[in-house]
Amino acid sequence: MRTYSAKPGEVDRHWYVVDASQHTLGRLAVTIADVLRGKHKPQFTPHVDTGDFVVVVNASQINLTGRKLDQKHYYRYSGYPGGLKALDARTVREEDPERMIVEAVKGMLPKNRLSRQLIKKLKVYASAEHPHGAQNPQPLPDLH
Protein backbone atom coordinates (compact mmCIF):
# COMPACT_ATOMS: atom_id res chain seq x y z
CA MET A 1 0.00 0.00 0.00
CA ARG A 2 1.28 3.44 -0.86
CA THR A 3 0.45 6.42 1.33
CA TYR A 4 -1.80 8.94 -0.38
CA SER A 5 -0.72 12.57 -0.22
CA ALA A 6 -3.14 15.25 -1.40
CA LYS A 7 -1.98 17.75 -4.02
CA PRO A 8 -3.10 21.39 -3.76
CA GLY A 9 -4.68 21.34 -7.22
CA GLU A 10 -6.91 18.33 -6.67
CA VAL A 11 -8.67 19.50 -3.48
CA ASP A 12 -12.36 20.31 -3.86
CA ARG A 13 -13.48 23.06 -1.51
CA HIS A 14 -16.90 23.63 0.02
CA TRP A 15 -18.37 26.64 1.78
CA TYR A 16 -20.01 26.25 5.19
CA VAL A 17 -21.99 28.75 7.25
CA VAL A 18 -22.25 28.71 11.06
CA ASP A 19 -24.59 30.69 13.32
CA ALA A 20 -22.44 31.61 16.34
CA SER A 21 -25.39 32.60 18.52
CA GLN A 22 -26.03 28.93 19.34
CA HIS A 23 -22.46 28.01 20.30
CA THR A 24 -19.79 28.49 22.95
CA LEU A 25 -16.62 30.25 21.76
CA GLY A 26 -14.02 27.54 22.37
CA ARG A 27 -16.15 24.63 21.22
CA LEU A 28 -17.06 26.43 18.01
CA ALA A 29 -13.43 27.41 17.40
CA VAL A 30 -12.30 23.76 17.59
CA THR A 31 -14.85 22.73 14.96
CA ILE A 32 -13.96 25.65 12.67
CA ALA A 33 -10.22 24.96 12.97
CA ASP A 34 -10.77 21.32 12.00
CA VAL A 35 -12.80 22.31 8.92
CA LEU A 36 -10.25 24.96 7.86
CA ARG A 37 -7.46 22.37 8.04
CA GLY A 38 -9.50 19.68 6.30
CA LYS A 39 -9.34 17.14 9.12
CA HIS A 40 -12.93 16.11 8.39
CA LYS A 41 -11.93 14.78 4.96
CA PRO A 42 -10.42 11.35 4.26
CA GLN A 43 -7.70 12.90 2.07
CA PHE A 44 -6.37 15.11 4.92
CA THR A 45 -2.67 15.81 4.53
CA PRO A 46 -0.96 17.83 7.29
CA HIS A 47 1.31 19.90 5.04
CA VAL A 48 -1.33 20.70 2.35
CA ASP A 49 -4.32 23.01 2.61
CA THR A 50 -7.17 20.51 2.15
CA GLY A 51 -9.74 22.48 4.14
CA ASP A 52 -12.93 24.33 3.31
CA PHE A 53 -14.19 27.89 3.68
CA VAL A 54 -16.19 28.82 6.80
CA VAL A 55 -18.53 31.81 7.13
CA VAL A 56 -19.50 32.69 10.71
CA VAL A 57 -22.55 34.92 11.25
CA ASN A 58 -23.95 36.48 14.45
CA ALA A 59 -20.48 36.72 16.01
CA SER A 60 -21.75 39.38 18.40
CA GLN A 61 -23.98 36.79 20.09
CA ILE A 62 -21.30 34.16 20.84
CA ASN A 63 -21.60 32.53 24.27
CA LEU A 64 -18.86 32.48 26.90
CA THR A 65 -19.05 30.22 29.95
CA GLY A 66 -18.40 31.17 33.54
CA ARG A 67 -17.09 34.66 34.28
CA LYS A 68 -15.00 34.95 31.11
CA LEU A 69 -16.83 38.10 29.97
CA ASP A 70 -15.12 39.99 32.81
CA GLN A 71 -11.99 37.91 33.45
CA LYS A 72 -10.75 37.07 29.92
CA HIS A 73 -8.54 39.75 28.37
CA TYR A 74 -7.47 40.45 24.81
CA TYR A 75 -4.09 42.13 24.41
CA ARG A 76 -2.40 44.12 21.69
CA TYR A 77 1.05 45.65 21.83
CA SER A 78 2.22 48.64 19.80
CA GLY A 79 5.90 47.78 20.22
CA TYR A 80 6.63 50.88 22.28
CA PRO A 81 7.23 51.06 26.05
CA GLY A 82 3.89 51.34 27.80
CA GLY A 83 2.12 50.32 24.60
CA LEU A 84 0.33 47.22 25.93
CA LYS A 85 -3.45 47.57 25.70
CA ALA A 86 -5.80 45.12 27.40
CA LEU A 87 -9.55 44.83 26.84
CA ASP A 88 -11.91 42.47 28.61
CA ALA A 89 -14.07 40.07 26.61
CA ARG A 90 -17.26 42.07 27.23
CA THR A 91 -15.73 45.17 25.61
CA VAL A 92 -14.30 43.19 22.69
CA ARG A 93 -17.67 41.52 22.05
CA GLU A 94 -19.36 44.93 21.91
CA GLU A 95 -16.72 46.75 19.83
CA ASP A 96 -15.16 44.07 17.59
CA PRO A 97 -16.95 40.70 17.94
CA GLU A 98 -15.21 39.25 14.88
CA ARG A 99 -11.88 39.47 16.72
CA MET A 100 -12.98 37.00 19.41
CA ILE A 101 -13.67 34.21 16.94
CA VAL A 102 -10.66 34.91 14.71
CA GLU A 103 -8.23 34.89 17.64
CA ALA A 104 -9.75 31.73 19.12
CA VAL A 105 -9.50 29.87 15.79
CA LYS A 106 -6.02 31.24 15.05
CA GLY A 107 -4.80 29.90 18.40
CA MET A 108 -5.98 26.41 17.43
CA LEU A 109 -4.15 26.30 14.10
CA PRO A 110 -0.49 25.29 13.75
CA LYS A 111 1.99 28.14 14.03
CA ASN A 112 3.50 28.13 10.53
CA ARG A 113 3.04 29.52 7.02
CA LEU A 114 0.18 27.15 6.33
CA SER A 115 -1.88 28.59 9.17
CA ARG A 116 -1.61 32.08 7.69
CA GLN A 117 -3.06 30.63 4.50
CA LEU A 118 -5.80 28.75 6.38
CA ILE A 119 -7.03 31.73 8.42
CA LYS A 120 -7.79 33.61 5.18
CA LYS A 121 -10.54 31.07 4.50
CA LEU A 122 -12.40 32.15 7.66
CA LYS A 123 -14.98 34.90 7.14
CA VAL A 124 -16.58 36.31 10.30
CA TYR A 125 -19.52 38.76 10.46
CA ALA A 126 -21.14 40.34 13.52
CA SER A 127 -24.66 40.27 12.07
CA ALA A 128 -26.73 37.65 10.24
CA GLU A 129 -25.97 39.04 6.75
CA HIS A 130 -22.92 38.01 4.74
CA PRO A 131 -21.84 38.73 1.12
CA HIS A 132 -21.07 35.08 0.26
CA GLY A 133 -24.50 34.02 -1.00
CA ALA A 134 -23.14 33.28 -4.47
CA GLN A 135 -20.93 30.51 -3.05
CA ASN A 136 -24.08 28.80 -1.69
CA PRO A 137 -22.69 27.95 1.78
CA GLN A 138 -24.19 24.92 3.47
CA PRO A 139 -24.82 24.57 7.24
CA LEU A 140 -21.77 23.16 8.96
CA PRO A 141 -22.34 19.49 9.90
CA ASP A 142 -21.78 18.59 13.54
CA LEU A 143 -18.29 17.09 13.58
CA HIS A 144 -17.88 16.40 17.30
pLDDT band at 1 (very low <50, low <70, confident <90, very high): confident
State pLDDT tens for residues 11-70. 999 999 999 998 999 999 999 999 999 999 999 999 999 999 999 999 999 999 999 999
CATH superfamily of 14-63+96-139: Ribosomal protein L13 (3.90.1180.10)
pLDDT of residue 141: 84
- Spans of all domains in the chain: 14-63+96-139
Q: What is the mean pLDDT of the chain?
A: 95
pLDDT, residue 142, reads 78
Distance of CA 5 to the CA centre of its chain: 25
Task: State the pLDDT at residue 53.
Answer: 98
Contact call for residues 6 and 44 (beta carbons, < 8 A): yes
